Amino acid sequence: MHGSTISEVWHQVIGTQPAAPLTLVLVTGVVTLLVVGYGPVWRVARNAITIAHEGGHALVALLSGRRLTGIRLHSDTSGVTVSVGKPTGPGMVFTGLAGYIAPSLLGLGAAAMVTANRLTALLWLTLLLLLAMLIMIRNAYGVLTVVVTGVALFVISWFTSPTVQAAAAYLITWFLLLGGLRPIFELQTKRARRQAPSSDADQLHRLTGVPGIVWVVVFFLVAAGCLLIGGYWLVPELPSIAGVTG
């Protein structure tokens, strides 16, 4: 888009782009699977999932009438979102529930957008969400993480070819869908070792009386459902490719 007028950029953002070839969709999916599955790379990439996780807490806190006071992102890929309001009730429950399911729900929304060939719109919407979140970040590492992610998205959206932008859009989508699952398994592993007494699941247990493991199962079912639905939207040809017939 470099050198384009504001009007041209706007029409590019709200318009549709050509459908990505199946090869690109599959390759980006495989690359994402490797990123999520390979520990050393995942420990860096997981920061993006933490951004989505804390963003989910923040958004639902605001929607439930709570006052958001700040978000912190840490170098160990943990994070915390602080809001002020009634310490119990539905608002707190939904705020606590939002974190672990936010990446997967965002991935499902992203899958809907790329399936509708709104690839550029997805990149710019992601950038706008990052900018909105940046306002509430309260620590240096969090600012650095969001700024670096946002700059990378801007460079891709503004300076690269449509093919690179399409690849980025599919990588974002696959990463949210696949990356939304792994932290749930990591959460339960820590809970089993009694290393996460203040996890979202345990806070929900204290708020509702429902056992923490039930909340972990809820997180998993939402994330797995989003992956199955979103994956089908992205690759509807997959059953025939695999030789499965109805």
CA distance 220 to 245: 28
Residue 69 banded pLDDT, cuts 50, 70, 90: very high
Three-state DSSP at 71 gives strand
CA distance 41 to 14: 33
Phi, psi angles (nearest 5°) of residue 15: -85, -175
Q: How many CB atoms lie within 10 A of CB 95?
A: 27
Residue 238 banded pLDDT, cuts 50, 70, 90: low
Checking if the pLDDT of 20 tops 60, the result is yes
Burial class of residue 122, CB neighbours in 10 A (0-12, 13-18, 19+): buried
pLDDT per residue over 128-149, tens digit each?
999 999 999 999 999 999 999 9
Give the pLDDT score at 111: 98
176 touches 106 (CB < 8 A): yes
Residues 56-67, mean pLDDT to the nearest whole number = 95
What is the average pLDDT score of the chain? 92
pLDDT per residue over 3-14, tens digit each?
556 666 666 677
The region of weakest confidence among 2-11, 92-101, 109-118, 163-172 is 2-11
Residue 237 banded pLDDT, cuts 50, 70, 90: confident
Q: What letter represents residue 69's amino acid? A: T
Residues 163-174, mean pLDDT to the nearest whole number = 97
Boundaries of every domain in the chain: 20-234
1 touches 157 (CB < 8 A): yes
For residues 1-38, b (16+ Cβ closer than 10 Å) or e, as one string? eeeeeeeeeeebbeeebeebeeebbbebbeebeebbee
Give the pLDDT score at 70: 96
pLDDT per residue over 171-203, tens digit each?
999 999 999 999 999 999 999 999 999 999 999
CA distance 86 to 185: 30
